[in-house]
Structure 1
């Protein structure tokens, strides 16, 4: 199962970090549409943040793991842009979870 954890600031509710762990095992390796969808959404969001805002997101990526954190000290204007992109990612992941809930769980803390 894929586990996505969204870490939010307790006061503001803004997303500070997210992680993706595990595998869906929906289909054979290379044919797993759930893994492919989650990977496309999460990695695509990281790429969009970096390209559209100019903010490089510290991350760790390897097989079955993606951890991303917004850098401290990012200016407020860019934080707003990053939040919009990250909230969009959450909506897309919720859509995948609604359709394939047996293979993915989205947690927000």
Structure 2
């Protein structure tokens, strides 16, 4: 199962980090549409933040694991744009979860 954890700030509810780990095992490697979908959305979001906004979030990547931390010091307008991309990611992940919930779990926590 793929586990995604979205961490939000206690002060404003904004996303401060996200983590994706595990494998869906929906199908064999190379054909697993759940893993591919989650990876595309998770990695696509960090790539979009970098390419469109020039923000390079701290991140750790290795086989079956992605952890992304949003920098604390960002211009307010840019921060809101980062949040829009992150909230879009959450919507996309929840769409995958609706169809493949036995292979993907999403947890939102407050920090």
1:96 aligns to 2:93 (yes or no): no
Displacement of 1:77 = 1.2
* Residue in structure 2 matched with residue 27 of structure 1 by the alignment: 27
Aligned residues between the structures: 109
TM-score, normalising length: structure 2: 0.97
- The Cα offsets for residues 51-97 of structure 1, whole Å up to 9 and x where unpaired, read as 11100011000101000000121111110000000000000000000
Alignment match, 2:4: 4
Partner of residue 52, structure 1: 52
* 2-structure distance, mates of 1:94, 1:72: 26
Match of 2:65 in 1: 65
Alignment of 1:64-83 (within 5 A): 64-83=64-83
Unaligned runs of 5+ in 2: none
SS at 1:7's partner residue? strand
Give the RMSD, CA atoms, in angstroms: 0.5
CA distance in 1, matches of 2:83, 2:72: 14
User: What is the aligned partner in structure 2 of residue 39 from structure 1?
Assistant: 39
Q: Normalising by structure 1, what TM-score?
A: 0.98
Deviations 1:15-48 (A, max 9, x none): 0000001000000011000000000001001000
